[in-house]
């Protein structure tokens, strides 16, 4: 499971961050779905297996992309905080997703507090709809809505923005209240029944992470 074993063999491997507080192991089918999407639309050499690595483990610092999600209170330990900051500041890419889909929920509030504590109170900003992540592969007019929002889960809002933290002009953290993880949490073999592939935006996220 070491990420260094994937380097040189694959261009991309899906790394989920395990953390001590809250619940990190949500949306368990989502990674395999996204892996299939990348294989379907890109020429990237993609590791077919999800990696789960503790945030406190220095191995996470070598991953080209990491995913962190949950719907409960999140509080980093000192080791988790240190690795998270080092990873983002040194060119890593974090996709963080709030499984509550609720800007007033426990995960959203606690995660944003952690980001403000680490990177500063003004660091987490709404991304303009012209941001490069929306055109890095497919073209989107801002973040695509999903069925979870349209069904009125969470705070009953359709969030027309994502947030991010930029380091030296590059997005190091992409943060979503839209609960893409749950939207994409289904068996990849069932994707063929969708009128439109709702996982395409994941390709943009990964391609941006690898090329920006």
3-15 pLDDT, tens digit each: 445 667 999 999 9
Residue 130: which pLDDT band, with cuts at 50, 70 and 90? very high
pLDDT of residue 158: 77
The pLDDT, as a whole number, for residue 98 is 92
| pLDDT computed for residue 90 by the predictor | 96
Residue 194 reports pLDDT greater than 80: no
Q: What is the pLDDT of residue 102?
A: 82
Q: DSSP readout, 33-67?
A: HHHHHHHHH----B-SS-EEEETTSGGGGG-S-EE
The confidence score (pLDDT) of residue 192 equals 74
Q: What is the mean pLDDT of residues 55-83?
A: 96
pLDDT at 125 over 90: yes
Q: Determine phi and psi for 101, rounding to 5 degrees.
A: 50, 55
Over residues 61-85, the mean pLDDT reads 96
At residue 3, the pLDDT reads: 46
pTM for the model: 0.91
Give the pLDDT confidence score for residue 153 in this predicted structure: 65
* Range from 6-20, 44-58, 66-80 carrying the lowest mean pLDDT: 6-20
Q: What is the mean pLDDT of residues 105-123?
A: 95
CA distance 127 to 160: 10
Ramachandran quadrant class, 94 (left: phi over 0; alpha: psi -120 to 50; beta: rest): beta
Q: Structural domains in the chain?
A: 3-211 (3.40.50.12140)
The whole-number pLDDT of residue 112 equals: 96
* C-beta of residue 97 within 8 angstroms of C-beta of residue 159: no
β-pairing, 94-98 vs 15-18, is unpaired
């Amino acid at each position: 499971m070491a990420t260094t074993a994937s380097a040189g063999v694959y261009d991309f491997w899906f790394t989920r961050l395990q953390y001590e507080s809250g619940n990190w192991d949500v949306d368990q089918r989502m990674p395999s779905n996204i892996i299939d999407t990348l294989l379907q639309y890109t020429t990237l050499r993609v590791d077919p297996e999800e990696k789960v690595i503790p945030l406190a483990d220095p191995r996470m610092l070598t991953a080209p992309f990491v995913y962190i999600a949950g719907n409960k209170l999140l509080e980093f330990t000192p080791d988790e905080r240190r690795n998270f900051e080092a990873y983002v500041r040194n060119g890593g890419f974090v996709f963080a997703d709030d499984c509550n889909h609720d800007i007033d929920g426990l995960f959203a509030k606690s995660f944003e507090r952690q980001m403000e504590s680490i990177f500063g109170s003004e660091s987490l900003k709404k991304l303009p709809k012209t941001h490069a992540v929306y055109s890095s592969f497919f073209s989107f007019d801002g973040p695509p809505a999903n069925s979870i929002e349209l069904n009125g889960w969470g705070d009953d809002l359709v969030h027309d923005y994502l947030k991010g933290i930029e380091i030296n002009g590059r997005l190091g953290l992409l943060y979503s209240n839209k609960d893409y993880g749950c939207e994409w949490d289904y068996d990849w073999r069932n994707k063929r029944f969708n009128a439109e592939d709702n996982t395409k935006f994941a390709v943009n996220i990964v391609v941006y992470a690898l090329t920006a």
